[in-house]
Structure 1
Amino acid sequence: MDTLSGFTRPIQICDVTVDTKRQNRKISYAVRTPSSAMGSNDPDKLVAKADKLTKLSLTRWSADWKSATVLYEQAANAFRVARQYENAKEAFEKASKGQEMISSPWDAAKHMESAAALAKELRKWSEVADFYRRASELYFECGRSQPASDALAKGARALEEADPDGAIQLYADACSILEEDNREQMAFDLYRAATNVYIKVEKYADAATFMLKLGLAADKSNATNSQFKAYLSAIVIFLYAHDFKEAEKCYNDCSQIDAFLSSDQYRCASKLLSAYSEGDVEEIKRVAQSSTISHLDNAIIKLARKLPTGDVSSLKTDTKEVEEPLDENDLT
């Protein structure tokens, strides 16, 4: 600060050499730094200025959302760089609203995703779900089903550990969006992800159900390999849960598909169920190590490698024919 010159703001001292016929002289002079350059990048001030632009007053009869949105975006990025995540999240929320107000739902969705990512950093899980859902809705307004589904999937992945049930619901909704747009094939990984979450929380019946939904989606997409893997996976899950009756029912239902009967997955499932029916533990373990099982998803392979999980001796069926007792009064 130069107090002698009378300046109250920072100044820059510049040296200029002046050549004349008589002498060389160095002249120093001061340049005042514009006050507008100071604090122009202060995110708090940017937000405050933007807020004023969106509020009506006696001198402002309409909100200037276009100018305000630019300021909110600048503030959000500045807060994020400064690792002030709470402030950054709120600024991105306001920027998203601003983009909505100026009829730009795509950019509004992008900002909402940024807010969701920051909510994840702050471990505010309910906001994570809400923001990704809102982003999905905004993408859907643009007529873009894939980004709408992707936003829900991002939210689901973020919630898998903290809120498994919430994650599963987001995965299910993400699948529904693609199904409604006849893009079932793009949902395969989402069905698998939801199944994995169900397995982690030991909801095996639900996990098997999601595998069968994958099988249905694969059938509509003519993806027979994925379809038959899904059928075998569902059977393995039921067996891991030691629910032989459901495994057998699933096997019988899937066997109604003619193409399945000639597949490796069908033969593998048949061998597994036969081994269970015979109470043959060693055969169960041998089939579980087969190459057909090895080509399933990792989560399913891990379950198969642990088969059998319970006592299978009670499942053993007596194949010997039981002779009917002789009725002496029946001479026919």
Structure 2
Amino acid sequence: MPKSPAELLLEKADKKASSSTGWFSSSSTKWEDAGDLYQQAANSFRVEKQFKAAGDAFSREAECRENSKENNDAANAWWNAAKAYKKDDPLTAIQALGCTISHLTKLGRFRQAADREKDIAVIYEQQLHDIAKAAESYTRAAEWYEQEEAAATASACRKSAADLCAQVEDYRGAIQLYDMVANYALKSNLTKYSVKDYWLRSGLCALAMRDVGKAQRDIEVFKSKDITFSSTRECKFLEDICACVTEGDENAFTAAAFEYDQVTKLDEWKASILMKIKRTLKDEVDIL
């Protein structure tokens, strides 16, 4: 069976990379030429929809760029490798993204490093379903976005991290992140409307860790930060749920959740954490 154009280019690249340096060429030139050939092979593999082979070729290109001290090109090659691997080999895609980030941070390109860290978070969350690691990557990306004065994007990453922390029952971590997101949202009239949802989520996290006292104290803090919060459905619902948990009243709890859902549909995250809270109603809770 004849070799494909991509395979022929790959052979040519391998031969160039393993060749010795002649009198009239430098080692740097050898690696530059080999890198160009690996890039051509990788793109040809992509045309043939051989994504694993494309990722491998881009990785070899990246190594050539590193050998010739072309750090910008190395970062781009690792990113191209990650995009090729992502479809069929997400773990290797994460490794390639890590190499990309290493080059970007050395070059001081933290905004792009944050973008790639966010890519890692999405792979962990959506493909590998490793919620804890996804939360870590979203948080790291947020820190870099904040350094680059991309505050809105940083806040969105922290919101994603907070939701994921709650899923793995790291409620304290989630509350801390929701507090940061809410404080950012309070700074602008354009985002202030979303604060009530962040505070509701934070309060539900406190109840999920069976700390009714904290939830109740936090409600008063929220009211002091935004005088309109006390009149929202989110505030009333949170106060009602606190009362139900304090009294251990499962029927009232179910009724409060149903009533809230009739007007404001409970999303999957809230429905899940409410079920966790409901299961604690027969247990002793902290009301101090």
- TM-score range (shorter-chain normalised) is 0.7 to 0.9
Q: CA deviation at 1:291?
A: 5.1
Tell me whether 183-192 or 289-298 shows the greater mean CA deviation: 289-298
**Structure 1 partner of 2:237:** 268
User: Does the CA contact (< 8 Å) of 2:182 and 2:198 recur in 1?
Assistant: yes
1:238 matches 2:206: yes
Q: Which residue of 1 aligns with 2:79?
A: 113
Mapped contact 1:43–1:79 kept (Cα < 8 A): no
1:179 aligns with 2:135: no
**Which contiguous aligned blocks of 4+ residues in structure 1 show a shift greater than 6 angstroms?**
38-41
Amino acid at match of 1:212: D
**1:240–1:294: structure 2 CA closer, same or farther, 3 Å change rule?**
farther
CA shift in 2, pair 1:274/1:52, >3 Å:
same
Give 1:134's aligned amino acid.
C
Q: Which of 19, 36, 61 does residue 26 from structure 2 map onto?
A: 61
Contact kept in structure 1, 2:211 and 2:285, CA below 8 Å: no
Measured against aligned partners, the alpha-carbon deviations of 1:140-180 in whole angstroms (never above 9, x if no partner) come to 647461x4322211111212335433322211111111122
1:46 aligns with 2:12: yes
* 8 Å CA contact retained: 1:75, 1:88: yes
Native 8 Å contact 1:112 1:131 kept in 2: yes
Q: Which amino acid aligns with 1:217?
A: Y
> Which of 183, 187, 190 does residue 157 from structure 2 map onto?
190
- 1:9 match: none
CA distance 1:172–1:56, change in 2 (3 Å) = farther
Partner of 1:4: none
Q: Is the 8 A contact 1:279 1:312 kept in 2?
A: yes
Give 1:166's aligned residue: 133
Distance 2:180 2:171 in 1: 14
State the SS of the aligned residue for 1:259: coil
Pair 1:299 & 2:245 matched: no
Please tell me whether Structure 1 or Structure 2 has the larger radius of gyration of its CA atoms: 1
- Measure, in 2, the Cα distance between the counterparts of 1:40 and 1:198: 44
- Once the two structures are superposed, the pairs formed by residues 4-15 of structure 1 within 5 Å of their partners are none
- Between the aligned residues of both structures, percent identity stands at 21
- How many positions carry a matched residue from both structures? 276
Q: Does the C-alpha gap of structure 1 residues 288 and 191 become closer, same or farther in structure 2, counting only changes over 3 Å?
A: farther
Alpha-carbon distance change, 283 to 259 in structure 1, aligned in 2, over 3 angstroms:
same
**2:61 alignment counterpart:** 95
| Counterpart-to-counterpart distance in 1, 2:95 and 2:228 | 41
Structure whose residues are more often strand by fraction: 1
Where 1:191 maps in the other structure, the secondary structure is helix
Structure 1's 61 and 148: CA in aligned 2 closer, same or farther, altered over 3 A?
Answer: closer
CA–CA separation in structure 2 for the residues paired with 1:295 and 1:221: 26
Q: TM-score when scaled to structure 1?
A: 0.67
Counterpart residue number, 1:134: 99
Is 1:77 matched with 2:43? yes
Partner amino acid for 2:171? Y
Are the aligned partners of 2:185 and 2:195 in contact in 1 as well (CA < 8 Å)? yes
Distance 1:139 1:86 in 2: 24
1:223-271 CA distance string (max 9 Å, x none) = 2222221111011122234332342343344344143544513333223
Secondary structure of the residue aligned to 2:28 is coil
CA distance in 1, matches of 2:283, 2:50: 62
Runs of 5+ consecutive residues of structure 1 not aligned to the other structure: 1-37, 318-332
Structure 1 or 2: more helix by fraction: 2
Summarize deviations over 1:32-51 as a string: whole Å, max 9, x none.
Answer: xxxxxx97961332322441
How far does the alpha carbon of each residue in 1:53-78 deviate from its partner, in whole angstroms, 9 at most, with x for none? Answer: 7x645453342254333211111123
Change (3 A) 1:104 1:313: closer
Bigger relative contact order (CA 8 A; separation at least 6): 2
Contact 2:207 2:215 in 1 (8 A): yes
1:92, distance to aligned residue in structure 2 (A): 0.8
Following TM superposition, by how much is the alpha carbon of 1:98 offset from its aligned partner in structure 2, in angstroms?
5.0
CA distance in 1: counterparts of 2:184 and 2:255, whole angstroms: 31
